[in-house]
Chains A and B, each alone.
Chain A
Amino acid sequence: MEHLQILIVLIPLLCAPICVLLPGGRLPWALATLAAWTTLVLALLLLGRIESEGVLSYALGNWAPPIGIEYRLDYANGLVQLLLATVASVVLPYSYRSARREIDNDRQPGFYAALMLLFAGLMGITATGDAFNVFVFLEISSLSTYALLALGRDRRALTSAFRYLIMGTVGATFFLIGVGLLYAMTGTLNMADLAERLPAVAGTRTMDTAVAFLVVGICLKLALFPLHLWLPNAYTYAPSAVTAMVAAISTKVMVYVLIRFLYTVLGADYSFGQLPLAQVLMVLAVIGMLTASAVALNQPNAKRLLAYSSIAQVGYMVLGLSLASTLGLTASLLHMFNHGLIKGALFLALGCVFFRVGSTDVERLRGLGRAMPWTMAAFVAGGLSLIGVPLTVGFVSKWYLVLAALDQGWWALVIAILISSLLSVAYIWRLVEIAYFQPSPSRDITREAPLALLIPTWILVLANFWFGIDTRLTVGVAEQAAAALLGVGP
């Protein structure tokens, strides 16, 4: 039982090379799906263990921390792992039909291998309690992401992947510099150990530099405005399943890393008390929320529109964590989980559209409400959740975010959140209007997407409503995690 913590990373990691060796598309797919489902079970088991035993610690290769690498699991990463496993378990079954259509046959094994590497990398980032280990897993996931993005049929997929490669590597290297400086000051890489030793050296110029590099590096990867330039094209031209996976979980994991470093490693007192990080992050988050939502309004491509919306939503998460209160952190963690479900559902629905129509241009959505009723219903449901209509997950996280802002008397933030919500109403409604109230341009009948795509899509859509109505699990875990991160809980 105690090996669960490492198995959840190892299983997908080991599946990757096996996938490459297996012939055709079906076997690698089956293996990858099985691996994803196994991790889902593991994630649930682990969450159960956290509930009964508290923080879980696992010494890799039996080297006792802080010398060896420690894997450390509390509510915060337990929640993220659950999100990762859920999304992967849904996207992988979906990817079979979708990838067969969008990716050449001889590339299929590689596709699943890269998908597994991406998944393993992200899992690793959340599982580990070692700062340098984060970098290694970060690069594993990033390299596989670059490869996956480049698999898109449009040639612009290549340029966008290249652009992301340059910016992503710069971000990761910045992160590496930050970790290096932390190590130079403390002589340890273990996060818990770092947290203990850092107060002694807090306030030195090296520390400030380290924090700057860390934060900029992480923010590049999580696409905080104005470091978001790589994201829209990357999401737009990638294969559908890849977009769904990356959009749903990649940036969320980076938000987790930011939270982990700011709260656990540096400590809230240092990062928000001594350094002006709260102000910087808050301002950027708000600008990102507003401008990205506004830019989303006029996008000619639905995937691109959602990509800009993702940038805005990242703003919400960063805003929550920059409030440095239990409520704000709860909101941030909740939105991390909830937005994963929302964007996953929306991009899967767009994948269904792409499967039949061959494009996600907004103009091509005309009349799809009639031609693909289930797909578009899923899209509308996901859109409502994105807007934050009650009974959906989007409402729950926004509720906590607004409460957190009100709690500290930040009226301006409340207004910004509302304006951004209104903008999201406008851009989602634009798509709905085109899909439902404009006649289809041609006579040819577009058929509904196959069940193999619809069922996973709807599972995520229903999850949006399920966790919007029964919030005991998510809110409970997020609240405990926030309390623990701030050091006020048990």
Chain B
Amino acid sequence: MSGQLALALCLLVPALGGVAIVVLGRKPNLREAATLTTAIALFACVLSVLRDVAAGDWQRLVLAEPLPGLQLALQPEPLGILFALVASGLWIVTTVYSIGYMRAKREQHQTRFYLCFAIALMGAMGVAFAANLLTLFVFYEVLTLSTYPLVSHAGDRRAMEGARTYLGILLGTSIGLLLPAIIWTYQLSGTLEFTPGGVLSGNTTPLEATLLLAMFVLGIGKAAVMPVHRWLPAAMVAPTPVSALLHAVAVVKAGVFSVIKVVIYIFGIDYMSTIPAERILVYVAGFTVIAASIVALRQDNIKRMLAYSTISQLSYIVLAALVLTPLAEIGAAVHIVAHAFGKITLFFTAGAIYVAAAKTQVSQLNGIGFRMPWTMAAFAVGALSMIGVPPTAGFVSKWYMIAGAFQNDLYVVMVVLTLSTGLNAAYFLPVIHRAFFRAEDQPPRVEHGEAPWPMVAALVLTASLTLLFFVFNGPVVDLEKVIVDLP
């Protein structure tokens, strides 16, 4: 398969899958089979892109040229492939999980649900392979709009309000800040292409660059840097598979991924380090890490706690990207993967607890580990990864981040990382403690064991991935070394 064909298929497969889902809407079994097939086919396509790239075929695919000199184009690139691999691979697992979840909950509008999921994945692929800012923006908005029906899925007032906050903040920041930043970039440099070394160097004054950077970081609302983080807790009204794949992996990672791409390919690491106010953003991201952790500490609702934990973890990635050393950039990229595995596991377990025991609060979890051992074991693995304890994935990325911070003598980053590790432990460990070391308060209303098997299978799989990544992270690190020119 030629590189361009594989790239095109990365967009076409989910689109066609969406059509198939609609056509088969009245036959649930076939519909779900179509989703699963699409997910597997998409993963295969991304793998094929990876293979082509490994063989040295970095082909660009031009989709259209809406304005002279401004193309809508795809271009594989290590970071993007990594993001695409994670998103499409976890889509397979999530599909299995959703089948169990949606059927157990007897949810309405399941066809719409699977369709929007497919479109959202198409958006994520577009973001991952975008060759320039314009393309990135287009698919970024596809992702925003296609996830709105997923967030508002329940259709009741609470869901609609949450969805409105979600859409309002994401669209508001992207149109109000990101788009002008893009246009301004174009006006200053005459191009929007992602170019190694950046395009802005020499075209801007320090003040302009500072403003521009702030507009990018805050405009990419999906990265959930405070104060534009409110949409993420609001999005927790969505069904759990949505929270798991989209709001722990695809959507939020699209955000931090975009930030990293802007830092590396628009500003360029070398030029970034000359911008004086770059440090301010380091502090903003650092503040977000700590503040979100503290808020998470006070949450009783499991999904909200996870949401704030996500906000905090996303800012790890932004923070690492802003440290501006090769090792930290690798740490940022690796953390995209590590956090994805860990957080999706945690959301899967939250959903499993909700389906099996109808519990949504941390305080209700006493002794639940004995009824749902697999689930809670997976939760423990995910939690340890969030804290960054070996042998989990979270340790690897934290290692690189701290190493990167040392290279640049950024001790504040180290303080932030250490402090937040403590805070993470403070809100995750009590949950594990409750689940395994406390007796049940009273017998639950319904006798329950584990959730339906597809859900358990999915969460065990992702938990295993979290553990395995600790050992087998070599290929990912090697892939990412390319972007920072490390041997």
A–B: direct contact at CB < 8 Å: yes
- The CA of A358 and the CA of B187, in the complex, are separated in Å by 48
A395 and B66 in contact, given A403-B187, A437-B152 (Cβ under 8 angstroms): yes
The reply to whether A418 and B64 contact each other, CB–CB distance below 8 Å, is no
- On whether the beta carbons of B186 and A391 are closer than 8 Å, the reply is no
Give A407 to B183 CA distance when docked, in angstroms.
Answer: 11
Partner of A469, one of B64, B134, B167, B183: B64
Contact with B along A359-401 (1 / 0, CB 8 A): 0000000000000000000000000000001110001100100
Given A422-B172, A425-B175: A390 in contact with B183 (beta carbons within 8 A)? no
The one of B64, B67, B149, B184 in contact with A406, judged by C-beta atoms closer than 8 angstroms, is: B184
Most chain A CB within a 10 A radius of its CB, from B64, B167, B183: B183
In the complex, the answer to whether A422 meets B67 with C-beta atoms within 8 Å is no
Q: Is the CB of A391 within 8 A of B187?
A: no
> Quick check: is A402 within 8 A (CB to CB) of the other chain?
yes
Bound complex: CA A312 to CA B137 (Å): 25
A436 to B137, CA, bound (A): 25
Write out, one digit per residue, whether chain A residues 131-166 have a CB within 8 A of any chain B CB (1) or not (0): 000000000000000000000000000000000000
Q: Which residues of A contact B115 (CB under 8 A)?
A: none
Chain B residue nearest to A467 in the complex (CB): B66
User: Could you tell me if A418 and B187 are in contact, using CB atoms closer than 8 angstroms?
Assistant: no
Q: Which residues of B in the span 108-145 have a Cβ within 8 Å of any Cβ on A?
A: 134, 137-138, 141
Total number of B residues with any Cβ neighbor in A under 8 Å: 24
**Bound-state Cα–Cα, A418 to B180, Å:** 8
- Tell yes or no: B430 within 8 A of A by CB: no
Cross-chain contact A391 with B64 (CB below 8 angstroms) = yes
Cα(A391)–Cα(B65), bound, Å: 9
Are B68 and A475 interface neighbours, CB within 8 A? yes
A422 B160 Cβ-Cβ under 8 A? no
Q: Do the beta carbons of A390 and B137 come within 8 Å of each other?
A: yes
B176 x A418 contact (CB < 8 A): yes
The A400-443 residues at the B interface (CB cut-off 8 A) are 402-403, 406-407, 414, 418-419, 421-422, 425, 429, 433, 436-437
The CA of A418 and the CA of B177, in the complex, are separated in Å by 9
**A288 interface residue, CB < 8 Å from B?**
no
Q: Is A468 close to B, CB under 8 A?
A: yes
Please judge, given known A-B contacts A390-B66, A418-B176, whether A407 and B187 are in contact too, CB under 8 Å. Answer: yes
Contact: A396 with B66, CB < 8 Å?
A: yes
Q: Is B72 an interface residue (CB 8 A)?
A: yes
Contact of A399 among B72, B152, B160, B183 (CB under 8 A): B183
Is B160 a contact of A425 with CB atoms below 8 Å? no
Given contacts A390-B66, A425-B175, are A402 and B183 in contact (CB under 8 A)? yes
B interface: dominant SS: helix
Residue of B134, B141, B172, B180 touching A402 (CB-CB under 8 A)? B180
Inter-chain contact total with CB atoms closer than 8 Å: 59
Q: Contacts of A274 on B, CB cut-off 8 Å?
A: none
- Tell me the complex Cα distance, A95–B280, Å: 60
B55-72, CB < 8 A from A: 64, 66-68, 72
Complex Cα spacing A425 to B186, Å: 24
Contacts of B141 in A (CB 8 A): 389-390
Q: Which residue of A lies closest to B168 (CB)?
A: A426
Q: Does B155 contact A (CB under 8 A)?
A: yes
Interface contact A390-B138, CB-CB below 8 Å: yes
Give B452 Cβ to nearest chain A Cβ, in Å: 29
| A429 and B165 alpha carbons, distance in the complex (Å) | 13
When chains A and B are docked, how far (Å) is the Cα of A355 from the Cα of B160?
30
**Is B234 among interface residues, defined by CB-CB distance under 8 A?**
no
Tell which of A390, A418, A425, A437 touches B134, judged by Cβ atoms closer than 8 Å.
Answer: A390
Give the docked Cα–Cα distance between A456 and B68 (Å): 29
CB distance from B109 to the nearest CB of A (A): 10
Q: Is A471 an interface residue (CB 8 A)?
A: yes
How many angstroms from the CA of A402 to the CA of B184 in the assembled complex?
9
Most buried by B among A406, A407, A419: A406
Bound Cα distance from A181 to B167, whole angstroms:
54
Taking a contact as CB atoms under 8 Å apart, the answer to whether A403 and B66 are in contact is no
> Do B175 and A475 touch across chains, with their CB atoms under 8 A apart?
no
Question: Which residues of B, 168-195, contact A by the 8 Å Cβ criterion?
Answer: 171-172, 175-176, 179-180, 183-184, 186-187
**Chain A residues near B186 (CB, 8 Å)?**
403
How far apart are B267's CB and chain A's nearest CB, in angstroms?
19
Q: Which residues of B138-168 have CB atoms within 8 Å of chain A's CB atoms?
A: 138, 141, 149, 152, 155, 160, 167
20 contacts between A and B (CB under 8 A): A389-B138, A390-B66, A390-B134, A390-B137, A390-B141, A396-B66, A396-B67, A399-B67, A403-B187, A414-B180, A418-B180, A422-B176, A436-B149, A437-B149, A468-B66, A469-B64, A469-B66, A470-B66, A471-B66, A471-B68
List 5 A-B pairs, minimum CB-CB distance, nearest first: A390-B138, A469-B64, A406-B187, A402-B183, A469-B66
Contacts beyond the supplied A407-B187, A414-B183: 12 A-B pairs with Cβ under 8 Å: A390-B134, A391-B72, A395-B66, A396-B67, A418-B176, A418-B179, A419-B176, A421-B175, A425-B171, A437-B155, A468-B66, A472-B68
